[in-house]
Amino acid sequence: MTFYHPQALLFKHKYMNSPERQFNALTPDPEKKDASNAPEVIIEKTPIAETETDVVYLGVTLEKSKSGDDQFVPKREQYADFINDKEVALPLQRDIAIAFLSGEPLLVDGGTSLGKTTTVRKMAAELGWEIHYANLNGATDVEDLMGRYIPNPHKSKPEDPEYIFADGKVTSGLRQEEGKTKIVILDEFNASAPNILIRLHEVLDALERGGDVILSEDASEAVPVNKERTKIIALMNPPGKGYFGREPLDPAQLRRWVYKKLPSELPESTFSYSTDALFGAEPTSQNVTPDMFIRTREGSLTPEQLPEIPGLIEVLEKYKEFHKAAKELLKNRKVAEDQPQAFTFDDRMEPRRVRDFVLRFYTGDINETFQQALRYYYSNKLENKADRDMFEELIRVVEYKPTVVPSRRKGIEAGPERNTEEIISESFEIAEKITKKMEQFLTEGSVSKNSIALGLTGVGTAAAMEMRKQFLTEGSVSKNSIALGLTGVGTAAAMEMRKQFLTEGSVPKNTIAFSLAGVGTAAAMEMRKQFLTEGSVSKNSIVLGLTGVGTAAAMEMRKQFLTDGVSKNYIALGLTGVGTAVAMEMRKQFLTDGGVSKNSIALGLAGVGTAAAMEMRKQLLTEGSVDKNYIARSLAGVGTAAAMEMRKQLLTEGSVDKNYIARSLAGANNKESFEFRENNFNSDDELYLKSFITESVEIDAIICRYGFEGDMSKT
Amino acid sequence: MSHTSNPKSIEEFLFVIQGGKEVGLVIAKDDEEFASFAKVMEGFDFKRSENIAGLFKSPKTYFVITGDVDKDVYDFIVQYPTGQVEIFDKKLMRSQTLSPDYKNSAIVLLVDKDNLNKIQEKGFDLLSSTGPAFQA
């Protein structure tokens, strides 16, 4: 029996787009570990994770050396009390790891108390890599670094040479040895004599080329070098600022380096945490936020694969604008005004580095990867938080906003894959059907106008807006109902109507905030920010109104709320319908850190049918830490085979209220869901009917995730 | 970074610095005080070392800093807190790496004020590179 209840139309948004992401053959869903041909995506739970073969620094994996112990490898026990704070130590290790992975020379500029050298040595101890240390302060002799002829200490026979060439500190780090990876530390780099800098830059150029370093000190011996095996890191204290003898480097010399600016002093919060950690009042590793992680892939893309990345062209155009703006800000000293060490954003080097970063780290979300690259190569050069914030605003603009994004999820939309045109067409069709149905109800007078207004939830068609306006003119429907019925609609007309309500003061601002659920447009984010600035809407309401919005800006707002002390329960609930990797990571972090009801986590999974979400549900079930009814409710709108299986299991166990199972099917109107209805609720008309009507949270999830969001207005 | 402590006596200072992760600095105002501090340190089993490598040969050692201090000394001081010290012999062009045993050792630099000023002016910032410091 196949039965389509009229209400089903309201929830039959199954073919709508998922606004957060899109995939193609090159970019399989990173949350689906079993996706064929998918590069393995590694997301670490702990800031620094270690296996037998690797160490992962906030997601950046470095391979341990296989050569074993060596006098140049620092001893691990020396770093037993190393404090991994989240503001300096952990990001520094991540950024060093990125440089090591990319083979780029890194120049770290920061105060002496930050532990720059210790951090590098600690990483080397973990990785089993050698350290070759050269302090350039007061060093004037290039030969100390590159090598010189010395009397042969082993001469025992007349035919033995009188003199032999002996490597310097740097040369010994450049020599390739089986199974060894070497780090050359150039400490106090900006206290170096000019002749030494010139020679070292020749070494850097050779490493970049992947060729030989020619030892003029040894009859032009050619030493093959390999940036995979030799990592160069220069450290310096800020010029001036109480550091005697440190002069600013010529900015032109800096272009060879990836330049990272650290604070001149330990930030107050880090000082406080580190001190507590030293005394055992805090753990030695601080909790971090998911956005601090870099997602890495196995192997790199090839340059030929780049054009296949969806949205790349759009992002590139915005990147060019960003680069120009960054240069302009720097040139006019709008940023880095108080940094004594001048630097540039190089027109050739920076784009090349960003390109290589994308090749190395792209895992399916071009916006995320590109923005991380810009933070690494641009923001990292800035010390001042205000400067970084300014850049962050610019970086967020460098994104690809798909007009219509075909979701390939096998969640709600089980069925043959369709192209974008088909989806758009069907979206309109559904919206039209719903509108027509509501018009029919209106003509018949069989349903109250308030219900009709609510029934228009998620529908942003011109006809639907007309109907709303008519209700307003007649005064026949409560404005609250109209406002709530705007949930999930992000068109300009809908935003205009909300603004009108706000101006009139006719609808509580909390209601307006709720009605923004599922709308992630810039205008909606602006309205939320305005509420926050005014203090007119509670943060709890704002965060619940973020339901279904998984954009970077929305995630940022959630993080800010976390910092502000908003209850994790609200944030977890506000994540409903958001299945991005970042959102899943936030949920995992909540579970790890505690301070949140697992029922809230479960409910917040409503509408998310990814493998990772199913895994989390299973974990919660296995732990027995959550009311199973909440798991049932969390399945709302998810029509995957795995979700069906879970429903079946819950029903068989008899451990949940059947009403929740039934209602969780609303919105999941695929073949499997109808089979499920027939197999389980065929003899119970009431339950069968309920399977098309959700609870409010679930409705939000479905509408927001699959409903007529901002994208619809663009189409 | 150096923190000029104010223990009541050099004896107390020598006791306090044991087990520290940084090199201690004792600053004498004149030759007389210099000799007096050296004597006290010897009395507390601190062995005077003539070179950097010698600083690891005894659990408690001290090194006299003169105005023409070798760069190796500076390299040693800045590396000591980092868990590993690489000492480079320029004559033999050979590196030796050492791991400080912080728990069971104490290293002190003894310098008079004039020499300290000279060294600071050379750009070797001993005051920032050493840990606890003492002056009477």
Residues of A whose CB is below 8 A from B128: 112
pLDDT band at A220 (very low <50, low <70, confident <90, very high): confident
Residues in chain B, overall count:
136
Distance from B15 to chain A by nearest Cα, in Å?
A: 21
The confidence score (pLDDT) of residue A693 equals 65
Angle between the N-to-C axes of helices A581-593 and A552-564, in degrees from 0 to 180, rounded to the nearest 10: 20
Do A591 and A693 belong to one domain?
yes
Q: Which tokens belong to A300? A: 């790199």
Domain contains A48: yes
Among the ranges given (A14-23, A383-392, A433-442, A492-501), the one the predictor scored with the smallest mean pLDDT: A14-23
Any bridge partners for residue B25, and if so which? B109, B133
- Among A133, A196, A264, most B C-beta atoms within 10 A, so best to mutate, is A133
Residue A700 has pLDDT above 50, yes or no: no
Question: How confident is the model at residue A132, as a pLDDT?
Answer: 96
Last residue of a domain, one of A341, A374, A401: A401
Task: Say if A508 falls within a structural domain.
Answer: yes
Q: Which residues of B touch A72 (CB under 8 A)?
A: 86, 95, 97
Of A121, A133, A139, the CB nearest to B71: A139
Radius of gyration over every alpha carbon of chain B, rounded to an integer in angstroms: 14
How much is the average pLDDT of A471-475?
A: 88
Regarding whether A70 and A137 lie in a shared domain, the answer is yes
- Three-state secondary-structure class, residue A226: coil
**What pLDDT band is residue A38 in, cutting at 50, 70 and 90?**
very low
Residues A354 and A482 in one domain: no
Say if residue A259 is in the same domain as residue A312.
Answer: no
Range of the domain at A486: 419-714
Cβ distance B99 to A113 less than 8 Å, yes or no, reads: no
Q: Are residues A548 and A678 in the same domain?
A: yes
Residue A320 lies in a domain: yes
Instruction: Establish, for the pair of chains A and B, how many residue pairs have beta carbons separated by less than 8 Å.
Output: 84
Helix (H) / strand (E) containing A637: none
Instruction: Establish if A413 belongs to a structural domain.
Output: no
Token pair for B84: 């590993």
How would DSSP label each residue in A174-186?
Answer: HS--TT--EEEEE
Q: How far is B40 from chain A (nearest CA, A)?
A: 30
pLDDT of A311 = 87
Mean pLDDT of chain A: 80
Tell me the CA distances in angstroms from A408 to A29, A55, A169, A420, one per residue in order. 9, 34, 55, 11
Q: Which tens digits make up the pLDDT trace of A367-408?
A: 999 999 999 999 999 998 889 988 998 998 898 876 543 333
Proportion of chain A above pLDDT 90, given as a percent: 32
Q: Using CA atoms, how far apart are residues A451 and A66, in angstroms rounded to an integer?
A: 69
- Residue carrying structure tokens 């003898």: A245
B117 to chain A nearest CA, in Å? 13
> Residue B86 is nearest to which of A75, A133, A167, comparing CB atoms?
A133
B68 touches chain A (CB under 8 A): no
Torsions phi, psi for A198 (to 5 deg): -60, -45
Q: Between A655 and B77, name the one with better pLDDT.
A: B77
A274 chain-B contacts, CB cut-off 8 A? none
Q: What average pLDDT score do residues A649-662 get?
A: 85
Statement: residue B122 has pLDDT above 90: no
Chain A residues with a Cβ under 8 Å from any Cβ in chain B: 71-72, 74-75, 78-79, 112-113, 115, 117-118, 121-122, 125, 131-133, 135, 137-139, 141, 144, 147-148, 150, 153, 166-169, 172, 187-188, 191, 243-245
Residue in chain B nearest A173 by alpha carbon: B95
Report residue A618 as tokens.
């299973």
Which one has a higher pLDDT value, A708 or A285? Answer: A285
- Choosing among 3.40.50, 3.30.450, 1.10.20, 2.10.260, the CATH entry for B3-135 is 3.40.50
Within a domain: A610? yes
Is B75 in the A-facing interface, judged by CB distances under 8 Å?
yes
Instruction: Please tell me the least confidently modeled range out of A426-440, A577-591, A665-679, B38-52.
Output: A426-440
Strand partners, A135: A187
- Among the residue ranges A237-241, A409-413, A431-435, A568-572, the one predicted with the least confidence is A409-413
According to DSSP, the residues that pair with B96 across neighbouring strands are B87
Name the minimum distance, in Å, from the CA of A167 to any CA of chain B.
7
Angle, alpha carbons A152-A156-A160 (nearest 5°): 60
Rounded CA gap, A308 and A290, in Å?
27
- How far, in whole angstroms, is CA A401 from its chain's centroid? 16
Q: What pLDDT is stored for residue A412 in this prediction?
A: 34
CA angle A330, A331, A336 (to 5 degrees): 35
| Same domain for A319 and A286 | no
pLDDT digits (tens, 9 = 90+) for B65-79: 987 878 888 999 999
Contact A75 B123 (CB under 8 A): no
B86 and A72 within 8 Å at the Cβ level: the answer is yes
Mean pLDDT of chain B: 89
Task: Please provide the distance, in angstroms rounded to a whole number, between the alpha carbons at the two ends of chain A.
Answer: 36
Reference B76, options B13, B131, B2, B129; nearest CA is: B129
Q: According to the model, what pLDDT value does residue B106 have?
A: 94
Taking an 8 Å cut-off on Cβ atoms, the answer to whether A75 and B81 are in contact is no
Question: Residues A530-534: what's their mean pLDDT?
Answer: 90
Site from A78, A112, A218, A266 to mutate, B interface, most B CB atoms within 10 angstroms: A78
Cβ–Cβ under 8 Å, residues B48 and B58: no
In sequence order, which residues have a C-beta less than 8 Å from that of residue A1 and are 6 or more positions away?
A678, A682
Task: Identify the pLDDT of residue A242.
Answer: 58
One domain for residues A365 and A463: no
Which residues are within 8 A (CB) of B29 and not within 5 positions of it... i.e. 6 or more apart?
B112, B113, B135, B136
Question: A114-128, A223-237, A516-530 — which is least confidently predicted?
Answer: A516-530
Q: Is B113 on the interface with A (CB under 8 A)?
A: no
Yes or no, beta carbons of A244 and B81 under 8 Å apart: no
With beta carbons less than 8 A apart as the criterion, state whether A155 and A161 touch.
yes
Least CB-CB distance to A245: which of B79, B97, B123?
A: B123
Q: Write the pLDDT tens digit of every residue in A486-524.
A: 887 888 888 999 999 999 888 888 888 888 888 888 889
- Asked if residue A604 lies in contact with residue A587, where contact means CB atoms within 8 angstroms, the answer is yes
Average pLDDT over residues A37-62: 75
- Do the Cβ atoms of A71 and B96 come within 8 Å? yes
pLDDT single digits (tens) A69-118 = 789 999 999 999 999 999 999 999 999 999 999 999 999 999 887 999 99
- A82 close to A213: Cβ distance less than 8 angstroms: no
DSSP 8-state symbol, A2: -
- Which residues of chain B lie closer than 8 angstroms to A144, CB-CB? 88, 90
What does the pLDDT read at residue A60? 93
> How many domains does one find in chain A?
3
- pLDDT band at residue B110 using 50, 70 and 90 as cut-offs: very high
Chosen domain end from A236, A270, A294:
A294
Q: How far is B33 from chain A (nearest CA, A)?
A: 28
More confident residue, A473 or A419: A473
Verify that A76 and A131 share a domain, yes or no. Answer: yes
- Is A144's CB within 8 Å of B88's CB? yes
CATH number at residue A178: 3.40.50.300
Give me the pLDDT at residue A403, please. 55
* Residues of chain B with C-beta less than 8 angstroms from the C-beta of A125: 83
Domain ranges of chain B: 3-135
- Note the pLDDT of residue A121: 97
Residues of A in contact with B88 (CB under 8 A): 144, 169
Phi-psi region of A457 (alpha: psi -120 to 50; beta: other; left: phi over 0): beta
More confident of the two residues B1 and B19: B19
Question: What is the pLDDT at residue A9?
Answer: 28
Inter-CA distances, A230 with A255, A307, B86, Å: 19, 31, 18
Question: Quick one: pLDDT at residue A632?
Answer: 87
Output the pTM of the full model.
Answer: 0.60
Chain B nearest C-alpha distance from A88 (Å): 17
Tell me the per-residue pLDDT of A161-213, one tens digit each, with 9 for 90 and over. Answer: 999 999 999 999 999 999 999 999 999 999 888 899 999 999 999 988 888 98
Percent of chain A with pLDDT over 70: 83
N-term to C-term CA, chain B: 19
Residues A176 and A315 in one domain: no
Q: How far is B97 from chain A (nearest CA, A)?
A: 6
- Give A521 or A36, the one with higher predicted confidence: A521
Q: Do A75 and B99 touch (CB under 8 A)?
A: yes
Which of B83, B86, B88 has its CB closest to that of A79?
B83
Instruction: Measure B73 CA to nearest chain A CA, in Å.
Output: 11
Residue A105 lies in a domain: yes
- Please tell me the predicted confidence (pLDDT) of residue A637: 74
A233 beta partners: A106, A185
pLDDT at A450 over 80: no
| B76 to chain A, closest Cα gap in Å | 10
Last-in-domain residue among A266, A294, A322: A294
By C-alpha distance, which of A1, A2, A16 is closest to A434? A16
B8 touches chain A (CB under 8 A): no
**Confidence grade of residue A26 (pLDDT, cut at 50, 70, 90):** very low
Q: Is B94 on the interface with A (CB under 8 A)?
A: yes
B120–A244: do the CB atoms touch at under 8 Å?
Answer: yes
Strands A296-297 and A258-261: unpaired
User: Which residues in chain A touch residue B79, judged by CB atoms under 8 angstroms apart?
Assistant: 117, 133, 135
